[in-house]
């Protein structure tokens, strides 16, 4: 599996008041990890590429798929898809500053630029002129007006067949598919359909239902699962939280809570678990992040011990 950062704007990296080291820091256990950048300035993005490379990232991704109003105001994200020549120039510059892969995350189109021909030409130009060999495709178009970011993730229809056709039309390129994957069998199905896609991005699924990842080693990598219970996962996460908060003073409990806030999705009294970890006072009452996690385990054990100690296959 590959971990992606959230999109980070070029100016955030270059002008972060305490220096970019804490902002971009990650730990060996997270490899392979990709830094996802946003922006449109050639010089600044070139500098960001050099910084990310020196920080030890395995890959750098340019996001031209985000349609949020704030991103549009900055003239980056999905609106750049309307100008493939600019995207090509950006990625060409990024590649010239990098010894690691430069990839692009995009949509299948924007507003009325939503034909297969448009998408195909975009891929052709950004790969041939911009030097990009791997595209992460959110398999739906984006509306720059009329839909909020959440609606843009769900309302435009999915077109998985376009992604599969792009792989056929550009066999020398790599494609990762994204959008709408909520079940393991659907991920298996799309990856086995051609056996040629590089992967399937499941950022939203891993946030909404992280427990589903507990069976991925067996299903997708033909390896035995670690078979950790949710209790064991949370105990390890608590210790990890102590470690990273000591190393990086920018990290606060709400940031560390996000990856595990939905660990009991679909289970009885999931709301009580979420409320406990979502209450800042519970972290103020304890000296360490791990202490609050242990308190949460004690609370939830009285409610749903079965889910707490259940192990994956």
CA-to-CA dists, residue 168 to 88, 133, 196, 310, angstroms: 22, 14, 9, 42
In angstroms, the CA 122 to CA 116 distance is 10
For residue 35, how many C-alpha atoms fall within 13 Å in the half-sphere facing its CB? 26
Q: Given the residues 48, 52, 66, 296, select the one marked as catalytic.
A: 66
Please list the alpha-helical segments (H only) found in the chain: 10-15, 20-24, 42-54, 69-73, 84-96, 116-128, 149-152, 160-169, 184-194, 203-208, 216-221, 230-247, 253-257, 270-278, 280-284, 289-309
Identify the DSSP state of 73: H
- φ, ψ dihedrals at 98, nearest 5°: -125, 145
In angstroms, the CA 217 to CA 181 distance is 18
What six digits make up the tokens of 297?
A: 């385990």
Give CA torsion, residues 10, 13, 17, 20, to 10 deg. -170
**Catalytic residue at 95?**
no
In angstroms, the CA 128 to CA 92 distance is 10
Q: 12: exposed, middle or buried (C-beta count within 10 Å: 0-12, 13-18, 19+)?
A: middle
Catalytic (active-site) positions? 66
């Amino acid at each position: 599996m590959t971990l992606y950062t959230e999109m980070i704007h070029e100016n955030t990296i270059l002008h972060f008041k305490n220096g970019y080291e804490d902002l971009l820091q990650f730990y060996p256990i997270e490899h392979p990890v990709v830094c996802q950048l946003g922006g449109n300035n050639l010089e600044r993005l070139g500098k960001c590429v050099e910084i990310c490379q020196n920080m030890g990232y395995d890959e750098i991704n340019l996001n031209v798929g985000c349609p949020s109003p704030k991103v549009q105001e900055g003239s980056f994200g999905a609106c750049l898809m309307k100008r493939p020549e600019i995207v090509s120039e950006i990625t060409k510059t990024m590649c010239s500053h990098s010894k690691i892969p430069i990839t692009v995350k995009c949509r299948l189109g924007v507003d009325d630029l939503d034909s297969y021909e448009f998408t195909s030409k975009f891929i052709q130009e950004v790969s041939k002129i911009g030097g990009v060999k791997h595209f992460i495709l959110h398999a739906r178009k984006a509306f720059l007006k009329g839909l909020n970011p959440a609606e843009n993730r769900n309302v435009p229809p999915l077109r998985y067949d376009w992604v599969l056709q792009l792989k056929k039309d550009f066999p020398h390129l790599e494609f990762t598919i994204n959008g709408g994957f909520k079940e393991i069998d659907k991920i298996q199905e799309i990856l086995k359909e051609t056996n040629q896609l590089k992967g399937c991005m499941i950022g939203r699924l891993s946030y909404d239902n992280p427990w589903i990842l507990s069976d991925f080693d067996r299903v997708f990598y033909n390896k035995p699962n670690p078979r950790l219970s949710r209790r064991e996962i949370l105990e390890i996460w608590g210790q990890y939280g102590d470690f990273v908060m000591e190393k990086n003073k920018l990290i606060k409990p709400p940031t560390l809570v996000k990856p595990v806030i939905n660990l009991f999705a679909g289970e009885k009294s999931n709301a009580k678990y979420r409320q406990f970890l979502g209450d800042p006072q519970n972290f103020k009452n304890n000296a360490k992040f791990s202490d609050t996690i242990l308190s949460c385990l004690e609370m939830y054990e009285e409610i749903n011990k079965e889910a707490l100690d259940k192990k994956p296959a």
